[in-house]
Amino acid sequence: MFTLFCFHSQLIVHIKKVEIVNNYKIANASAQIRRYGPSMRNYVADFRVDLLQTIANVMVNTVYYVPNLAGKYEKAFYNRTINFCTYLRQPLTDRVLKMVYGNLIQQGNLPKRCPLTGTYTFNTSFDGLNLPGFLPESSFRFDLNFHRGPPKNELVFNGYWYGELRRVSS
């Protein structure tokens, strides 16, 4: 006799730390991670970027790392650079960015079209982020890097988001 057990589970994102590198001529980005709840086990990310210049052509680089056995983030599991303005017009051009950005845009004031100007913010726990089931439970680093597009190709800001993926029963 064969018995099949089916367990439904989902991946939960816990962001633990964030580092931001700014080009203060162009932008001032900041982020912080806050814990909340009775056991302080829940996390919320607060993010803000003040653009000091209007940016008409923006490139975004998304990189996902899982640490090696030594705990170092050396080889990227995923690494892609696209034109952010093109993405805003056609979100299906990048499925990974669409997963993340789709969640963030619901939680704040983020760009919907180019040129980019002014202040953008979000505040989220990432609880609504639907990740593919094939991703392993692990620690990770997710880089979200923004650069001015050609011809200047200069840094706007880089964000390095550290956290864990944990599988929970749904």
Tell me: the pLDDT tens digits for 115-125? 999 999 999 88
Is residue 149 pLDDT above 80, yes or no?
A: yes
Position 5 pLDDT exceeds 50: no
SS3 assignment, position 102: helix
Which CATH architecture does the domain made up of 10-169 adopt?
Answer: Sandwich (2.60)
96: pLDDT confidence band, cut at 50, 70 and 90? confident
More confident residue, 36 or 1: 36
Condensed to tens digits (0 to 9), the pLDDT of residues 68-79 reads: 999 999 999 899
Percentage of the chain lying above the pLDDT 70 cut = 94
Per-residue CA distances from 73 to 2, 14, 142 (Å): 42, 17, 10
Measured CA to CA, the distance from residue 117 to residue 111 in angstroms comes to 9
User: Rounded to 5 degrees, what are φ and ψ at 147?
Assistant: -135, 150
- The residue-averaged pLDDT of 31-50 equals 89
CB neighbour burial string for 98-132, b if at least 16 within 10 angstroms, e if fewer: eebbebbeebeebbeebebeeebebebbbeebeee
Q: What's the mean per-residue pLDDT of the chain? A: 89
pLDDT over 70 at 7, yes or no: no
**pLDDT at position 152:** 87
Residue 72, CB half-sphere, CA atoms under 13 Å: how many? Answer: 3
For residue 10, what are the β-bridge partners?
A: 168
Residue 27 pLDDT: 98
> Residue 141: its pLDDT value, please?
96
Better pLDDT: 95 or 33 = 33
At residue 115, the pLDDT reads 98
**pTM of the shown model:** 0.87
Confidence check: pLDDT of 132 > 90: no
